[in-house]
A and B are shown apart, each in its own frame.
Chain A
Amino acid sequence: MAEKISNLSFVTQDGREVPRVPVELCWADRLGDWKARWGINRMRYSVEPGLYAVGNPDGGSVVLVSANYKLSFDALRKELGGLDGWIMVLDTKGINVWCSAAKGTFGTDEVVGRIGLVGLEEIVNHRRIIVPQLGAVGVAAHEVKSRSGFSVIYGPIRACDIIEFIKAGMKATEQMRQVCFSLYDRLVLVPVEFVNGVKYLIFAIAVFFILSGINAGGYSSDLAMKEGVRSAVNLFAAYFGGAVISQVLLPWLPGRSFSFKGFSVGLTVAAFLLLLKLTGGRLETIGWIFLIAAVSSFITMNFTGASTYTSLSGVKKEMRIAVPLQLTAAIIGAGMWMVSKFI
């Protein structure tokens, strides 16, 4: 079910009514966008595919192609103040431009099909569409041209550069064409990354709580409560290291592979906990160092998919080395933690 867009009006073009969207987001849009960032309603946060207007477009106005993830659609329209143009929204199943282009839903077939469905040939008198550069992963410009007659002009990566791009006569600067992964880009990903894995953290904490009661004399629920809290603190710190600290500090961490970056963060986190005397006795402390390093390394490695610059070949190479090491470290760490219960 698609989201309703607030404050719609209509323009008439070629005898047809086309919904016109405001270029300013209202509080409901902002709340919805914020919730999507936290993983709430994220996979159903879409707008109806089709043709929309901004400003007062006519047959000569530009056509911008977008995805039907509402976060993407909102990011585009809020940058279009002062523009008279058309937005052709593809059916990308509620996924953003780059990811849906990789999946193929933002692709040549959908572009060509949507041009036909919205009757773009009757709406505009030119034969050009502006496709966001990251859509090029799924779109082949020469095929769109031969199948629909429309030329694809690849626009800038970021919606905030669209107006400048159009004003410059459809010319992008090098900076507009380069994807980056700035501190802000990483920070907006932290909430959803944190929320996504938290169920595994809670499960791990529960298991450690239960096992904490085991000792040489049998089982003690008092001990489980007391020692379980320490386990929870250490596990949370490991998770926080991998899911938050590694992501924020990514470019400044040593090494190129994500697993090594996460390993470094894990060791630092463990050292910090040791200084605060939160890691227990000597054997248990060594166990936590192994465990925290393994967990932090693993979680950071899984951030490769959210980053904007890792290749599949590179990830495979990294994993061939890192995964066995992470697994070994985790087993050693958990083993030492368990043994420390008995001595």
Chain B
Amino acid sequence: MKGQTYLKNVVTLRLDVDKCTGCGLCAVVCPHRVFEIKDDKAVIVDRDGCMECGACSGNCPVEAIRVESGVGCAVAVFKWMLKGGEPNCDYCNRSDDAPS
């Protein structure tokens, strides 16, 4: 969506084309249309659009996708720096950005 691309060249998304079977589920679940299927293989067409949600890697049946998934939230990062663990949504009370 116009004006809604975040920082360039930062995401940890990696695709192992050799493992990919072309099932297409990554392209289905990605909320930012980062993948397309071309010649029975997944292709990353918009790497900077990735928000590292992890839906693609979690649904890849052959583990061809790797991404260090997490929440892109400054508040979670602050809490993680203070308390350790990993940046996550525990204790967040806004939890409301999803429309469905």
Please report A residues at the B interface, Cβ cutoff 8 Å.
36-37, 39, 42-43, 69, 71-72, 75-76, 95-100, 102-103, 132-134, 136-142, 154, 157-159, 172, 174, 177-181, 185, 189, 192-193, 196, 250-252, 256-258, 301-302, 304-319
Contacts and interface: CB of A to CB of B under 8 A. Distances in A.
Contacts of B100: 72, 75-76, 96-97, 132, 134, 157-159
The 4 lowest CB-CB distance pairs between A and B, nearest first, are A305-B73, A251-B3, A98-B98, A310-B72
B51 A310 contact: yes
25 contacts: A36-B96, A42-B96, A103-B90, A132-B100, A133-B29, A134-B55, A136-B29, A137-B54, A137-B69, A139-B59, A141-B59, A154-B25, A251-B4, A256-B6, A305-B71, A306-B96, A310-B72, A311-B7, A312-B52, A312-B68, A312-B70, A315-B77, A317-B10, A318-B74, A319-B74
Contacts of A159: 99-100
Nearest to B8: A256
Contact of A174 (B5, B33, B51, B59): B33
A239 to B, nearest CB: 16
A192 B94 contact: yes
B15 to A, nearest CB: 16
A140 B63 CA distance: 12
A180 B1 contact: yes
B2 interface: yes
A171 B54 CA distance: 23
A99 B90 contact: no
Contact of A43 (B11, B71, B76, B93): B93
Interface of A is mostly: helix
B99 A305 contact: no
Interface residues of B, number: 51
B95 A95 contact: yes
Contact of A137 (B4, B10, B11, B58): B58
Q: By CB atoms of chain B within 10 A, which of A75, A98, A181 has the most?
A: A98
Nearest to A71: B96
Interface of B is mostly: loop
Given A251-B4, A302-B75, 14 more contacts: A96-B100, A100-B95, A178-B33, A180-B1, A181-B1, A196-B93, A196-B94, A301-B74, A304-B72, A305-B92, A308-B31, A309-B51, A312-B71, A313-B68
Contacts of B73: 304-306, 310, 312, 315
Contacts of A172: 28
A179 B32 contact: yes
A154 B28 CA distance: 8
Contacts of A157: 31, 99-100
A263 to B, nearest CB: 14
Contacts of A180: 1, 4
B99 A99 contact: no
Interface string B17-45: 00000000100111111000000000000
Contacts of A72: 98, 100
Interface string B54-85: 11001101000000111111111100000000
A142 B93 contact: no
Nearest to A142: B61
Q: By CB atoms of chain A within 10 A, which of B12, B68, B71 has the most?
A: B71
B97 to A, nearest CB: 5
B82 to A, nearest CB: 13
Contacts of A181: 1, 4
A96 B52 contact: no
Q: By CB atoms of chain B within 10 A, which of A185, A193, A307 has the most?
A: A307
Nearest to B70: A312
Nearest to A39: B93
A315 B72 contact: yes
A28 B92 CA distance: 26
Given A133-B29, A179-B32, A189-B97, A257 B53 contact: no
A191 to B, nearest CB: 10
A319 B55 CA distance: 25
A304 B74 contact: yes
